Chain A
């Protein structure tokens, strides 16, 4: 006998995602992922000035403002052949690093931890024992028995007042929660500390981007002026503040995030064999130590891995007509050339054609179209993108910085490298990446300072800023490695205006529906075979889906009428 369960919307993500799963003998047999909001940013951009696109795409989401804006200015610069000055490269890298670390920490504590940490159990913790555990895993100073006991009192008051709020949507007491109360209390303490900490790191964006949220970007460089002794621009004082914040970030990752990860993981090692999914990984590459145009210097090397084969890294070409393509055979769109074709984004089309059931409905018809996400493929393969993909490509490329961190995590958890291809591995890879990015950010900072001290204060290249210098037609692609994975924007400029603009975002790669051959994308593949202890409380689905850090806001877009987490179970 099998059951069909529906989780809609998946909460603790940005955007709106629905998962339907068929369960047989306590395991997921088939899963279907549907983006239930529509996105038409492409249509908003058509006909606009390409130099303004960054400001619009920066608004598609509350989380990834800066990575979308970066991809956008890079696409335009690529189309027009603009080379940006070294300072602007470093400033973009620093803003990228700040966002990456902030996002990973926020994801771990605020979006994912509650899948593993039972808040209600934390109320039963012994503060003294909690303190001992905390001090055994890290030198982080906030770890006294008094600190944990104060927090526990506040938490108890909060829970008893009925104001569970942030903690309301949990499956507390679910048998799949395995942590002792003391580790749960550490998790809750750091949930709150992470929140306090993250407000500092985002100031890197305020300083370089002029404002936050939604910092300023500029085609040709960055919209800030740097001079060590300039009172109004970015001067020595502001730069030293950036350094302070970056150092604090490194400290937080090293002393809080990663120790917590390593303290929680041993209780969930079975998840090192669950949720692996596709085994195909795609990375566009990012964070060059010289120029974005020199991929050989990327800290995140580009490449693709197929069938878990780490011995071969395949080259990726975003310009090739038959590498990245988007399909719509299961998506509510139509193409002029019919449903069977795949389109490279430069030829991409965004025409809605909703043929799904009229809400409210019980189930999607998954044999037909069932999502507002298109289905991207690389050379026809379904690919996973994100921190795990980046860590595996870096590791498989033989990079020593990756090898050192990854091997130390594997050794501490006493698990083989193959366990990385799992739900646990995805979550661990994010921590590994945060460690690396925190180290790299200090290198980029040094490079920026050295460059300024050598007398180079150029921040933008303006010679091709005026549209009368542009060719009649130009095409470009701009990519980066957003927190959730490979992100690229493709632009076609005609007569100084945007003629076509396509975003292929990380969650489209991961959360998309099946392709025309019926092949699953990353979420659907990873959910297959996941054990479900209680279909009424499908905590296990949340674990695997959250391990990808879904962010559907840019993949699709609309509102969430009730904002409630609903799961329905139906016996088939």
Chain B
């Protein structure tokens, strides 16, 4: 049996089929854990709720919108300022959050009036913003407030505003994934097709399932624009509400995070016949083939190739500098959903690390299929991990570094396992060619941190070296490196800047003359 039994979970047999070890010669038919099932109460799982999946993950990265939650204040407060989805309008969506502040009397008598008052107040406070998203919470769902009706009423009274309603209460489904699904479907049902966009290129895409963490979206949009492609909308990072209402006019949906946003792509295909192309902005190889695929679709492969050649020549020597020093290092790849398969193969092939474990908090079996297929033999795959299992796994696997969330990262710190933030990144963006080097650099700095080395010394027992007054990462990493590699003239450390996104925002792009008449508007 490929199933891995955690000692700490022997007393809860329901957990038995949630962890597998990919054995030699085993394929997915025999090594696939159960996934996306209800959480075991009291297990100290790391899962969030459907509300946060809808509002926090997908809704809020939309940049020019008042994001209001209909409920008590906590849902809003707790999901505010915990992510790094930036935008090119001075991060409006990061700065402001809105709660209708439902109180006991509203629970008893209803809160629709309160909601309407809130909507009007918020538009008044921000007169330049004319768009709003409304999120149901557990409380407003259970008392049965008709949020859609209130939104419709306001839109009738205030024709200049537009409001989107997402009914994804926290209890809806086993994890945040339920909310991803609901907001995808709600958006296409309510909003897509409402706006006719200005078409400026022969090649028009929606960029879907991309949340602009530390600027990822802007890095990728830069490539598309260099290819002469119009990115009509991004769902949703750095995305604009009205652009997303025009998604139906794109020629192609380019999908990044299939876990959170494949639903809307599939619906766009069914309703508007727009094809879906899954791409991957992480890793030189995956990114190159993604750009090539997009180029191929439009018959502009040469434009893609030019970018790939230029970027590879610029950044590959830096990536390889790190690869030489990361070879064989053991990684626990413990993100939320899709990064286990985005990263599993790419970090092994291009950075030389060994993925000894993958886990997913809210992924489905499909994510595990892809993740396990792409990680090494012997890797431990865990679905819906809990606190004790994660500890047991770390003690058993003794990874050199772990990629996970902020709070689990603190647990790893105490076990003296360096951690990188897999959701919000340390020094991102991590997408794009340069981004991938930044990721490698963060991994390298994590593993070879001189302070990290000190945490293994027990001054009450160990002999303290009196010769060493300091160490550098390179003094640690290059100990076992051959002279040839250590002093190679072809390789170099990362040479980019701390902040890379502002330059992209100020960039101008070449004009690709269009062959035919473009817009109906």
Do A and B belong to a common assembly?
no
